[in-house]
Structure 1
Amino acid sequence: MSASRTERLLNLLIALLNTRYGLRRSELREKIYHDPGSSDVSFGRMFERDKNDLRQFGFDVETVTDKGWGSDDPATTRYRIGKESNRLPDVSLTPEECTALILASQLWEQAALGSAALSAMRKLQATGELSSVAELPSGVQPRIKPPGQAFEDLVAAMHSQHPVSFRYLAGTTGKEEERLVEPWGLGSRFGQWYLVAFDRSRGAQRYFRLSRFTSAVTVLQKDSYTPPAGFSARAELDKLPELPLRTAVVDVREGRVLGLRKKAALAFDAGRADLAGQEPDRDGDLDTAPQAGTPDDGWDRLCVPYRDSEVLGEELASYGPNVVVVLPEELRDSVRRRLTAAVAFAATPVPPIEFPDDTAAKRTRKRTSEDQLQRMLQLVPFLVHNQGLHIREVADRFGVTRKELEDDLRILICSGLPEGYPDDLLDIQWEDDHVYITQDLDLNRPVRFTIDEACALLTGLEALNGLPELAEGSALESVTLKLMAAAGEEGLRAASLAGPEVSPGNSAHLQTARDAIESRRQLHLVYLSPQRDSFSERDIDPLRLYSLDNTWYLEAYCHSVEGLRNFRLDRIEKLSPNGRAATDHGEASEGFPVKLFTPNDDDTLVTVQLTRQAAGLAEDYYAERTAPLIEGGKDAGLLAEIRFGSTEWLPAFVAQHGGGVRILKPDDAAAAAGRWIEEALANYGG
């Protein structure tokens, strides 16, 4: 959409909103389009495209026909937009409901739904319904981290009702297969994200785990489907049984991989009987299984419980040559496949390493004219209800630069009714750097929620059910009902998405940390560091708690390293008050979301190549620069520059993502990763 088309659509919208009886196509052609030269057919196509665009922004164009005449006669057909049918209904919220809603809007981490949630909150703020006295739970910030680009593509296809295709590793056969499906719903269960879809090849509904996708998702834009009425992703996923508990036999180098040893159900000394992938009995005990050999000198044999070979395979691949899977064979295949893919990716030709001078640190979608028009439609009601804000504050609220905001305002003040008289134009002033609007032309109320906006807020509210601070009251339920009523049909379609419950796994550690945050007291902890493969004892000033799905973190000032650090609660062995008051050294990281990693200037700058599937790692690790890679006119991933405090764990990072990432620079780090992974692969026959 060009800038001129953006302005034309805005003028068309204002004209259709401000007519009681409707405007004929000839009037619109003369006063809005100024297009007397084109044929009736080409103008008709342009007008239909514009009507469809307005519908996508939430405005339904009504057709009014003169009595006794047919709607196929342009001379007797008029068009208008109802002022009430397209607007977001008033939503009156209590401070407690605002608290729940703010937490729900902040859940989505680095995803398209995160932008949709912010957009929905701006609409509510534009109505003046968000309470300024809402208080968030002390030190608690839950979040949902969707699983990469596949999630984004599937959500877009699901909401636009387009089929998709992808390659999938079948759990029953262990083979990769091409799938063509109609995506009906997405949801999280058992710590994994699943797609519920109709498989066209098999003619039946199927569940697909996103971690088993072995290719990028292709959206079939020219095809469409209709999902079943009343479909609920959560209800369908409730029917999905959890995978049975199984047992893996792995050999581990002596004194290494402490994290895996914690998970081991049983340790074996050399010469003892082995467990050959046997499942526990009803009492949860493991019986002796047939012999499968004994570990070599310098190795220990462990029995590790697991449910999903792909999940455990990813972890075991990250341990490289320090772990070898003995049984079962499908787990060996899972690890071998990742190591083989990493070696193969490293052997491909190195692309030119070039970064544009103005590369943003985050991989964001390029802003389009559609984004600009949507932003302007939110901007007018926002300014009406927030008169006199400083222009920089307005720009910050909308996530744009001051120049971008001023470009929006200049288009707005030139837009209005067809006659173009002063009173017929939007009147916005910002000469003194404070923005005022005195003429809004009935754009003073936000348009109703889009499907993405409704999904982001309603799914977020549903995910908060497991948070103790909110589950005790009725605010969560009441604000959900209010938003469902306000969202209307889009709220019903939001049932196609079901997020994970963000309940904490270790409630004792969580409560200990919360009490210390509120009382400003220090804590002493014993912590397992997977990167160093060792335990350490530290004294910390706890600052806040947050989560990614069901994984909870404690952000704290660590006195050992004299800086901010993030500790996973499930890696804390012991946590207790040390009797001292917290110091003034540390403050919680500003803004939201909090960073899991804090890059420093003296860290090693590493250049990596990411496939399209793994491109989200650039955001996860706060890449300083990125550059898109294009092959055959298609997206082929990213180049990214990322700072790492230690390069020792880079081989594990590469192996874990099995063919999704490789190190390009520094050369010695790339060579070390290659040698480490090849050594690991040699344990499986090369």
Structure 2
Amino acid sequence: MPKKIDAVERLLNLVIALLGSRRGRSRKFIRDHVNGYAAAAPTAAEEARLEVAFERMFERDKDTLRQVGIPIKTTTSFDDDDHEQTLYRIDPADYGVPEVRLDEPAMMMLAVAANMWSGAAFSEAAQSALRKVATRAGLGWYDDDTTVQSRIRTLEPAFEPLWTALREGHAVTFDYRGAGTAENSVRTVQPWGLGSKYGQWYLAGLDVDRGAARNFRLSRICSEVQIDGSGHFERPEGFSIAQVLQGLGSGQAETALVEVPVGGAHFLRSREGAAVAGAGTRTGTELLSVSYREPELMADDLASLGAQAVVREPGTLRRAVLARLQAAAGAAGAVGAADADPAGRGGTPLPVPSPDGPGPEGLGAALRRGPGKRTDSRERLLRLLSMAPFLVANPGIPESELAEEFHLAPDQLARDLETLSVTGLPGYLHGDLMDVFTERGQVFIRDAETLSAPLRLTQEEACALLVGLDALTAVSGSAEARSLRTALDAVKRAAGPDAWLADAVALALVDGPALETIAALQAMIHDRTAAHITYLVRSRDELSERTIEPRRIFSIDSTWYVRAWCRSARELRSFRVDHIRSLDPAGPQEHEAGGNASVPPSAYTPGAGDTEISLLADAGTARRLAPAYDGVLHEPGAGQAGLLGLRILVGETSTVPPLMARLAGRARVLAPHSVRRHVSAWLAAAIAAYEPDHAVGESAPRTPNVNR
């Protein structure tokens, strides 16, 4: 009895058989000659049963191939006895990535665009697309080695189901908490586009119940996204999510009067158009006039400044800031928060459980980082269809590099190579089977001409490259602009009918003021020039003077940094671009380039003297914070459903109270107790600064009586 062949080997044999036929293959030929299907039975009864089983299996296999993007053509023909039969074929022109012509600089830009998604929902798709295009272009493999790099995260649980619904044209339903509201509402939406701006992801689409186009911030979706697979809608012709992103924050500017210490609150003073508007109501303070367009984001910023910045006007902004502080104090158990009202934030503060769960500070075992890797037959089939042309293009690649490229353990790699070596054209004799072998730790493949072209780009792969390349046009220098356009045009041709995705997903990486600083830093990196900067250390509200030697510019979401050698610290440091207040040339660089100037996994770089902070947060907030601080998630203690524990490292504990204020009750500090007490005192002082005896007119809300 022949050994049983697994589903992936059978599917791979079917792909090769249909690709290797000019005329097509009949069902009878496929059953009789493609390894993996049952051969004819010796009895009529058994044959009837096996024929039914074959029909079911073949229909499932065809569906699987179509689901992974492999088009199957059918034609009608007649056999030798003049019986009508259906022939099945995969046209190589429809199957493979079309020919791509790219020079090395354009390929480099493609690598930058693909690596932008590192750690995000499109991460694997982006790397697969980069591999396919590099293989088809005959240029091998390229690292992301430019001076400007970006990283985009898709931390919202709603992103992936919304992306699925968007590309398949299905409506979705979810619970949504609007800005300034405490209650959720059910929304049914036809997704038109997804875009990232201000470090937030937004959904644009038709709100079905309201009959109008609306934008939704994904972080405000507070339920699972339900996809209605029974219906289908058409996106408006000419819709562009990039235009929606341009409109965000472009409304009528508002002006706030904020009381700040004289000579302090440098973060606010640096905002465009900020100006002193008069004396404050307290000794040593003055009023700043500050313009803003996004009230919610402005309230977040002001809450994080605590007692240092007290809003006087307008009343709506003042109440929104105070509500955030009260909600954070309520979660922290701070004095003065008994009547905390989270309505201005639109959230609900955490309960204040006692830390009596398992483990230190009530935290249980650490959670795995993200879901486990899928192991279904479709994923493995796609991997093998990608591995074969990659081996053709890279003969003699070391086993270790091949395993790293496809993120495989040694035993998984061995299994994949074995499967490739036993598949091939029907007949399965010498020259029909692919010949995969290893010599001195290097992997080679022969007789793989049928699979030498990589499978065409999937929608995820096309979208990852198109969106990444388009976003880079905003920050590319003149030297990269031509290469970027070449790469973008090549990917659009490779994407074919899926090129529309470039209008459905977009990233707004940078705005006007930061562009000037980035351009100046790029020139300094190119010319190896040092820079004298005036830099805001926000945690201490002080301006410091530094001389740095810029090495690389990078962004995480929409926040930009320069990785540079700091002469005073005598080590590589990351500096936020928007905190650089002045930038002047300081002669040639003195320190030899080298060291780790690559993009770090998060904006925070751990240090030897860091403090470990234990937090308890709602699950969504915890999962967003963990990557930002390279933190570790934990199971919470008993009776804390919907919450997660999180351990992070911070260089300065003074950064924790502003973070808690921004989170507005969605997280609280468990340990160390000294930091917990500091957060409570900081929030209490911030709330006290809003007491009525310091208020202006009707802008002051009623402050809770903490002693009643």
Interval of TM-score (by shorter of Structure 1 and Structure 2): 0.7 to 0.9
Q: Which moved more, 1:28-37 or 1:107-116?
A: 28-37
Contact 2:171 2:233 (8 Å CA) reproduced: no
Deviations 1:224-257 (A, max 9, x none): 4233264432475288472111012333356653
Contact 1:505 1:550 (8 Å CA) reproduced: no
Match of 1:232 in 2: 239
Cα distance between partner residues in 2 of 1:629 and 1:28: 54
* One-letter amino acid of the counterpart of residue 9, structure 1: L
Contact 1:309 1:330 (8 Å CA) reproduced: no
Contact 1:526 1:572 (8 Å CA) reproduced: yes
Equivalence map 1:6-17=2 (5 Å): 6-17=8-19
**TM-aligned CA distance change 1:119 to 1:463, over 3 Å:** same
Which of 606, 610, 613 matches 1:603? 610
Q: What is the TM-score with the length of structure 1 in the denominator?
A: 0.83
Which of 112, 119, 122 matches 1:110? 119
**What is the deviation of 1:645?**
1.6
**TM-aligned CA distance change 1:90 to 1:628, over 3 Å:** farther
Contact 1:86 1:448 (8 Å CA) reproduced: yes
**TM-aligned CA distance change 1:183 to 1:534, over 3 Å:** same
Contact 2:179 2:296 (8 Å CA) reproduced: no
Cα distance between partner residues in 1 of 2:587 and 2:92: 63
**What is the deviation of 1:549?**
5.5
**What is the deviation of 1:90?**
0.7
Equivalence map 1:250-269=2 (5 Å): 250-252=258-260, 256-263=264-271, 265-269=274-278
**What is the deviation of 1:398?**
2.6
Equivalence map 1:74-113=2 (5 Å): 76-113=85-122
**What is the deviation of 1:609?**
4.1
Aligned residues: 648
Are 1:567 and 2:575 an aligned pair? Answer: yes
**What is the deviation of 1:674?**
4.4
**TM-aligned CA distance change 1:652 to 1:514, over 3 Å:** same
Match of 2:620 in 1: 613
Unaligned residue ranges in structure 1 (runs of 5+):
272-294
**TM-aligned CA distance change 1:48 to 1:525, over 3 Å:** same
* One-letter amino acid of the counterpart of residue 655, structure 2: W
Contact 1:630 1:636 (8 Å CA) reproduced: no
Deviations 1:305-329 (A, max 9, x none): 1101111112122223433333334
**TM-aligned CA distance change 1:214 to 1:448, over 3 Å:** closer
Match of 2:344 in 1: none
Contact 1:257 1:322 (8 Å CA) reproduced: yes
**What is the deviation of 1:445?**
1.0
User: C-alpha root-mean-square deviation of aligned residues, in Å?
Assistant: 3.8
Contact 1:500 1:549 (8 Å CA) reproduced: no
**What is the deviation of 1:147?**
6.5
**What is the deviation of 1:163?**
2.7
Contact 1:147 1:193 (8 Å CA) reproduced: no
Match of 1:327 in 2: 313
Q: Secondary structure at the match of 2:551?
A: strand
Contact 1:463 1:502 (8 Å CA) reproduced: no
Q: Which moved more, 1:545-554 or 1:587-596?
A: 587-596
Are 1:435 and 2:435 an aligned pair? Answer: no
**What is the deviation of 1:201?**
1.0
Equivalence map 1:579-594=2 (5 Å): 579=587, 581-584=589-592, 587=594, 589=596, 591-592=598-599
Contact 2:115 2:144 (8 Å CA) reproduced: no
Are 1:57 and 2:62 an aligned pair? Answer: no
Contact 2:421 2:433 (8 Å CA) reproduced: yes
**TM-aligned CA distance change 1:251 to 1:380, over 3 Å:** same
**What is the deviation of 1:120?**
0.6
**What is the deviation of 1:681?**
4.9
Cα distance between partner residues in 2 of 1:496 and 1:127: 26
**What is the deviation of 1:468?**
4.8
Contact 2:350 2:618 (8 Å CA) reproduced: no
**TM-aligned CA distance change 1:581 to 1:486, over 3 Å:** closer
**What is the deviation of 1:347?**
1.8
Contact 2:158 2:225 (8 Å CA) reproduced: no
Match of 2:289 in 1: 303
Cα distance between partner residues in 1 of 2:453 and 2:353: 54
**TM-aligned CA distance change 1:9 to 1:658, over 3 Å:** farther
Contact 1:234 1:498 (8 Å CA) reproduced: yes
* One-letter amino acid of the counterpart of residue 529, structure 1: V
Match of 1:554 in 2: 562
Match of 2:188 in 1: 180
Are 1:355 and 2:365 an aligned pair? Answer: yes
**What is the deviation of 1:176?**
4.5
Contact 2:257 2:288 (8 Å CA) reproduced: yes
**TM-aligned CA distance change 1:601 to 1:325, over 3 Å:** same
Deviations 1:76-131 (A, max 9, x none): 44433223211110111133432432332233353122332211110012224337
Contact 1:157 1:219 (8 Å CA) reproduced: no
Contact 2:195 2:507 (8 Å CA) reproduced: yes
Contact 1:249 1:328 (8 Å CA) reproduced: yes
Contact 2:177 2:222 (8 Å CA) reproduced: no
Q: Secondary structure at the match of 1:92?
A: coil
Are 1:155 and 2:163 an aligned pair? Answer: yes
Contact 1:470 1:476 (8 Å CA) reproduced: no
Contact 2:207 2:213 (8 Å CA) reproduced: yes
**What is the deviation of 1:392?**
1.1
**What is the deviation of 1:540?**
2.0
* One-letter amino acid of the counterpart of residue 347, structure 1: V
Match of 1:23 in 2: 26
Cα distance between partner residues in 1 of 2:160 and 2:306: 31
Q: Identity, % of aligned pairs? A: 34
Q: Secondary structure at the match of 2:11?
A: helix
Q: Secondary structure at the match of 2:387?
A: helix
**TM-aligned CA distance change 1:40 to 1:180, over 3 Å:** farther
Cα distance between partner residues in 1 of 2:7 and 2:616: 38
Cα distance between partner residues in 1 of 2:140 and 2:391: 17
**What is the deviation of 1:451?**
1.0
Unaligned residue ranges in structure 2 (runs of 5+):
332-348, 691-700
* One-letter amino acid of the counterpart of residue 88, structure 1: V
Match of 1:452 in 2: 460
Which of 422, 433, 438 matches 1:425? 433
* One-letter amino acid of the counterpart of residue 543, structure 1: R
**What is the deviation of 1:365?**
5.3
**What is the deviation of 1:528?**
0.4
Q: Which moved more, 1:10-19 or 1:371-380?
A: 10-19
* One-letter amino acid of the counterpart of residue 275, structure 2: L
Match of 1:281 in 2: none
**TM-aligned CA distance change 1:590 to 1:299, over 3 Å:** closer
Cα distance between partner residues in 2 of 1:167 and 1:135: 40
Match of 1:648 in 2: 654
Which of 28, 36, 49 matches 1:32? 36
* One-letter amino acid of the counterpart of residue 113, structure 2: A
Deviations 1:11-63 (A, max 9, x none): 33333333442131794399524498878777655544432321222201233
Q: Secondary structure at the match of 1:387?
A: coil
Cα distance between partner residues in 2 of 1:239 and 1:666: 43
Match of 2:663 in 1: 657
Are 1:376 and 2:379 an aligned pair? Answer: no
**TM-aligned CA distance change 1:399 to 1:31, over 3 Å:** closer
**What is the deviation of 1:573?**
1.9
Cα distance between partner residues in 2 of 1:453 and 1:200: 30
**What is the deviation of 1:523?**
2.4
